[in-house]
Amino acid sequence: MVCGFVGAGGASVGQSGAVAVRSRCEPGSRVTVGGWRRARGALAMAKEVSFDELDGSTLRIGIVRSRWNAEMIEAMRKDVRQTLLDSKVPEANIVEVSVPGSWELPLAARYMSITQKLDAIIVLGVLVKGETTHFEAIADSVCRGLMDLQMSSIVPVVLGVLTCLSEEQAAARSTGSKSHAADWAMTAIEMGLLRASQMGKTAGSSAAAKLVGFGMLSDVTGVPTPKEAPEPSKKIGF
């Protein structure tokens, strides 16, 4: 039988067997200490992502950020920008825009995907749970909107929106050692390069922007191609 068990840290993991650590499955059931140690090691490893050395010199990357919790956002933005620059993304090819809060992030990212010919978009926000269900409503809607955007536009969207239970958690994950801002930047570069390679075109090219999926011409997404994009004088906000 597969059981959920609890170690010293209180984490619950699936494991079958007998002997040593208290199980949540049923009174008196036990699981192996060795199994817990292996599972704990696997959990620790899962928190780390490794990247090869990436060359982003051909990429054009967008950054959309919320101004709510501005100090934390700014710390993440700086880390993202520096990592992009360190990976050879030209400074002129880093396009930024800010919006009031996290609720506005998906729409702003949508605008950028249409008008800026981007290879990837990094979205930055900080949500901290309060006393009402507002937190859950915003977090779920933003994540769903960003996933829908990248699937419909075929522009990779990197989720850099923190959903934390306290100000302390948010601070540690934006300005402290637990920040993943550099990883988000590397993910954007890797996915931008993947997009270009699978489409058989150079990253950032107008021809690549017209392709959907794996090199198939299509307009099924409803996203205007560069030729169909509005003239600069007619754009609003971007």
Centre a 10 Å sphere on the Cβ of residue 22 and count the other Cβ atoms it contains. Answer: 13
Single-letter residue type at 140: D
Catalytically active residues are: 134
DSSP assignment letter at 223: P
In angstroms and rounded to an integer, the radius of gyration of the C-alpha atoms of the chain is 21
For the record, the structure tokens of 137 come out as: 């409503």
Interstrand relation of 216-217 and 157-164 (parallel, antiparallel or unpaired): unpaired
Single-letter residue type at 71: E
CA 103 to each of CA 152, 173, 230: distance values in angstroms, whole numbers, following the listed order = 19, 20, 25
Q: Are 120 and 189 in contact (CB under 8 A)?
A: yes
Residues 6+ apart with CB under 8 A from 160: 76, 80, 122, 123, 124, 125, 180, 181, 184
b/e code 84-117 from CB counts within 10 Å (16+ = b): beebebeeebbbeebbeebbbbbebbbbbbbbbb
